[in-house]
Structure 1
Amino acid sequence: MRPKLLPLSETMHLIMLALRKPLHGYAIMQLVNEMSDGEVNIAAGTLYGALDNLKKHHYIELISNPGERRKVYQVTELGEEILATENMRLKKFISLYENGDGSNE
């Protein structure tokens, strides 16, 4: 059975890659923008909806203390497995582009 949310959307993919290190919301938005060379700008509402969804599926976790002002998130072990799965899937697509005819020769 295929894990939920796969394949990841571009935005969720970038958020999870950003969360390989602990970050709070605004820092996630900045890093995603930087990683995408300014092509992906996430609005706060979109970001927090995506974070809630990723958290619900245990791909990321909240690591800050409940009383702290900023919520800090980080990718989980399951999230790293999901990223590895996506990496393999995307590498397959790249090989199809590079081979031009869809073969793996």
Structure 2
Amino acid sequence: MQEATFLILTALASGSQHGYAIITEVTEISGGRVRLRAGTLYTALDRLRADGLVAVEREEIVDGRLRRYYRLTDHGAVALRAEAARLQANASAALARLRLAGGMA
């Protein structure tokens, strides 16, 4: 799973959000390392919807513009949980090897 996908799903794990809120949340979660552009986000959301990982929860008009709220699906939560476990296992393995090698861990 690409980092941006992981971060988008992580942002939606706490509840439904609209696009700008997802962009803001991803920046916060990543400590400012990842700053999604709107085009990148909506391309990713379209792909995630097609894959059944996110769904549109509702739409509303705000200041004359459509605001779409996305939510994590059950399938998306399973995929996010699996990826988080995989990343955690990899990080644990790296830290253990660093300890064995006398590195800083």
TM-score (norm 1): 0.83
- C-alpha separation in 1, matches of 2:4 and 2:88: 18
Amino acid at match of 2:12: L
TM-aligned CA deviation for residue 29 of structure 1: 0.4
Identity %: 35
User: What SS does the aligned partner of 1:62 have?
Assistant: strand
Query: What does residue range 38-77 of structure 1 map to in structure 2 within 5 Å?
Result: 38-65=32-59, 68=61, 69-77=66-74
Q: Which residues of structure 1 form unaligned runs of 5+?
A: 1-7
| Paired position in structure 2 for 1:23 | 17
Query: What RMSD over aligned residues (CA atoms) do the two structures have, in Å?
Result: 1.6
The structure number with the bigger radius of gyration is 2
| Paired position in structure 2 for 1:13 | 6
- C-alpha separation in 1, matches of 2:25 and 2:91: 24
Amino acid at match of 2:11: A
TM-score (norm 2): 0.83
Q: Which runs of 4+ in 1 moved over 2 A?
A: none
Aligned length: 94
Amino acid at match of 2:26: V
The structure whose residues are more often strand, as a share, is 2
- C-alpha separation in 2, matches of 1:33 and 1:99: 29
Amino acid at match of 2:16: P
Q: Which residues of structure 2 form unaligned runs of 5+?
A: 99-105
| 1:23-82 C-alpha deviation (Å, 9 max, x unpaired) | 0000000010111111101011000000000000000000004x6420000100000100
